[in-house]
Amino acid sequence: MDPFLRLLRYATPHRAVIAGAALAMVVYGAANAALAYLIKPIIDDVLIAQRDMRAIAVAILAVYLIKGIGAYFSSYLMEGLGHRVVMVVRNELFRHMLDQSAAFFARRAVGQLLSRINNDVGLIQRAVSETIGDLARESLVLVGSVALLFYYDPKLALLCMTGTPVIVYPLVRFGRRVRTVTRWSQEAQEDMSHVAAEAFAGHRIVKAFGAEAREASKFQGVSWKLFRTNLKVTRVLALLPPLMEFLGGSAVAAALWYGSRQIAIGRLTPGEFTSFLAALLFMYAPIKKLSRVNANLQQAAAASERIFEVLDVHTEVLERPGATALPPFSNEIEFKDVTFAYEDGHGRSTLRGVSFTVRTGQMVAVVGRSGAGKTTLVNLLPRFYDVTSGAITIDGRDIRDVTLASLRSQIGMVTQETVLFDDTIAGNIAYGMPAATPEQIEAAARAANAHDFIVAQPEGYQTMIGERGQRLSGGQRQRLAIARALLKNAPLLILDEATSALDLESERQVQQALATLMMNRTSFVIAHRLSTVRRADAIIVLERGRIVEIGKHDELVARPGGSYARLHQMQLLESKTDSRVLKAVDPKPKAESSR
């Protein structure tokens, strides 16, 4: 379907507005024709016959007033409609993008997505609000003028119309070119937005590696590309008005030549001929505007194509029709022969034949080398991805059969990379529960060992923490994330530990906070620390996507040559040094860390 027609469908609910605008345009077009018509009495009656011109003066005033009213309402209604349509498209686009699966975001850069929302939608905005209004209004002006021309002298009018195909042909030709070149230009803007967004987000690394000049030249590269394509667009667009002007001039010259002979033989009065010429000249402005209409529409079509491309992508994790709410988790979670392959994982399965069961209140530790598939495994539970084969059930119900909202409301999450928002500390803690009271927020913060550092901030709980929590330390960010999960108070908990980045003191605080968080909950913990793993009711050892061992700490350690036993040996050495330091830092270390 033509992208432009598809875009127009967004306007169909606003029939009343369109009808109002159309009426205003008809008034405007008629007033224009009336003005040209009034020139006849001015010349024939007032100038030549010397009659009183008061009536005509009043008529001119009235026509201008009506024309003004028509112009105002047609612009206001049309442009208003344009803005409204564009707002709806923009909101739909944002929501649609946000609904997409993790795979969608893994494939696209933030800067590129932003560019579609900003640049492409912006281009459509211009087209819809200005161009469509112009198209309708100026066409009506043309119709009015042409009608007047035919009224005076059909032959002369036809003569002037012979130029039309000469005008229309290049417009259509140019339109196609404009569409292609506009697409290039929008793509170049997207690249530019991507380069800038990436450099800003990674500004520390850029500086630390002294790569400012390299990033700047990367930016200049894409910026230059944009300049070149914009130049191409301009080259095409700038040709149109002079071309129109020349053709219009030719029509006037032809009319003058023919018209003067008509006056000589008395078939037209001088007033009629002047009025005819005026009508012809009045056509000039609309034609000049209309000459750009097709080009603008083509630009909008190029932008719409890019927007609909995104709107037509469906990678959302979908709810089955008739999905029902998942009742509160009460019994067990089962992974049944789960296999999972990333879409762009080159055909390799990241998880293979994973089966295990977790009962309420248990804590499962997932261990394994980096890249073994631990994060992937836990991401399947809230359905960030769906299993490729096999199934995951909660209390016997396949998680694909329940509503996403009911499933996710039962899961608390602390991710490997802490994600915070540019909001206050309180706002971040209450992210999953916006109605939380300050007391609840503080209780969560205390339980997460975060209260002390929060009150030390300049504005306490109301301190803004900057984009992604930049104004906080790594450990502080993690504790806020834990407080956020605590406040949500979900029965299931997923913890992707990332404690390696912390110093011992903050790690101890984070560990304590995590221990509080896991109390009375069913938890999946991707654990790097012996202290956490030891307490687990079951340890799942993953190796290249397969479960190679599963059991309690003592059983697994006792297996000579087992994967876990090896891992344990390595960690034991580490933890010995750790606990010595811990003791030095804190005379009364927590029970787990000294066990």
Ligand X SMILES: Nc1ncnc2c1ncn2[C@@H]1O[C@H](COP(=O)(O)OP(=O)(O)OP(=O)(O)O)[C@@H](O)[C@H]1O
367 or 538: CB nearest Mg ion: 367
> CB under 5 to 8 A by kind: which of ligand X, Mg ion, none does 344 bind?
ligand X
Instruction: Measure the CA–CA gap between 20 and 14, rounded to whole angstroms.
Output: 10
Our finding on whether 375 is near Mg ion (CB under 5 A) is yes
Q: Least distance to Mg ion from the beta carbon of 526, Å?
A: 6
174 or 524: CB nearest ligand X: 524
Q: Least distance to ligand X from the beta carbon of 381, Å?
A: 13
Site string for ligand X, 398-417 (x = CB under 6 A): ------------------x-
Of 354, 517, 348, 347, nearest in space to 444 by CA: 517
Q: Least distance to Mg ion from the beta carbon of 575, Å?
A: 21
302 or 536: CB nearest ligand X: 536
Residue selected from 344, 500, 570, 580 as contacting ligand X according to rule CB under 6 A: 344
Residue selected from 151, 308, 342, 356 as contacting ligand X according to rule CB under 6 A: 342
Residue selected from 12, 50, 330, 370 as contacting ligand X according to rule CB under 6 A: 370
Site string for ligand X, 104-133 (x = CB under 6 A): --x---------------------------
Half-sphere CA count of 379, side-chain side, radius 13 A: 18
| Residues facing residue 363 across a β-bridge | 523
Residue facing Mg ion at closest CB distance: 375
Q: Least distance to Mg ion from the beta carbon of 374, Å?
A: 5
Site string for Mg ion, 146-175 (x = CB under 5 A): ------------------------------
Sheet (strand 332-340) strand order: 351-359, 332-340, 389-394, 397-398
Instruction: Measure the CA–CA gap between 489 and 440, rounded to whole angstroms.
Output: 11
377 or 394: CB nearest ligand X: 377
Residue identified by tokens 């205003």 is: 24
Residue selected from 179, 289, 374, 400 as contacting ligand X according to rule CB under 6 A: 374
Of 354, 416, 407, nearest in space to 384 by CA: 407
Residue selected from 223, 375, 409, 579 as contacting ligand X according to rule CB under 6 A: 375
Site string for Mg ion, 389-428 (x = CB under 5 A): ---------------------------x------------
Instruction: Measure the CA–CA gap between 97 and 120, rounded to whole angstroms.
Output: 15
296 or 350: CB nearest ligand X: 350
Angle, in degrees to the nearest 10, between helices 474-488 and 504-518: 10
Instruction: Measure the CA–CA gap between 110 and 102, rounded to whole angstroms.
Output: 13
3 or 412: CB nearest Mg ion: 412
Q: Least distance to ligand X from the beta carbon of 346, Å?
A: 8
Segment near ligand X (CB under 6 A), from 76-84, 371-379, 486-494, 550-558? 371-379
Q: Least distance to ligand X from the beta carbon of 524, Å?
A: 12
150 or 384: CB nearest ligand X: 384
Q: Least distance to Mg ion from the beta carbon of 15, Å?
A: 53
Of 251, 275, 273, nearest in space to 261 by CA: 273
Give a three-class secondary structure readout of 131-174.
HHHHHHHHHHHHHHHHHHHHHHCHHHHHHHHCCHHHHHHHHHHH
* Number of residues this chain uses to bind ligand X (CB under 6 A): 14
587 within 8 A of 581, measured Cβ to Cβ: no
> CB under 5 to 8 A by kind: which of ligand X, Mg ion, none does 249 bind?
none
Residue selected from 371, 417, 462, 467 as contacting ligand X according to rule CB under 6 A: 371
Rg of the chain's alpha carbons, rounded to an integer? Answer: 36
Instruction: Measure the CA–CA gap between 305 and 183, rounded to whole angstroms.
Output: 9
Question: Burial code of 137-168, b = ≥16 C-beta within 10 A, e = fewer?
Answer: bbbbbbbbbbebbeebbeebbebbeeeeeebe
- Joined together, the tokens standing for residue 13 give 């609910």
Instruction: Measure the CA–CA gap between 488 and 521, rounded to whole angstroms.
Output: 12
DSSP 525: E
387 or 445: CB nearest Mg ion: 387
Q: Residue 252: which H helix or E strand, with range? A: helix 212-264
145 or 376: CB nearest ligand X: 376
Segment near ligand X (CB under 6 A), from 260-268, 373-381, 517-525, 574-582? 373-381
Instruction: Measure the CA–CA gap between 480 and 496, rounded to whole angstroms.
Output: 15
102 within 8 A of 384, measured Cβ to Cβ: yes
197 within 8 A of 152, measured Cβ to Cβ: no
Residue selected from 373, 382, 469, 475 as contacting ligand X according to rule CB under 6 A: 373
Instruction: Measure the CA–CA gap between 465 and 510, rounded to whole angstroms.
Output: 19
Q: Least distance to Mg ion from the beta carbon of 413, Å?
A: 13
Q: Least distance to ligand X from the beta carbon of 558, Å?
A: 25
- State the CB neighbour count (10 A cutoff) for residue 69: 14
Segment near ligand X (CB under 6 A), from 229-237, 327-335, 366-374, 388-396? 366-374
248 or 373: CB nearest ligand X: 373
The contacts of residue 283 (CB under 8 Å, 6+ apart) are: 141, 142, 145, 146, 248
Q: Least distance to Mg ion from the beta carbon of 591, Å?
A: 28
- Contacts with Mg ion by CB under 5 A lie at 375, 416
- Contacts with ligand X by CB under 6 A lie at 106, 342, 344-345, 350, 368, 370-376, 416
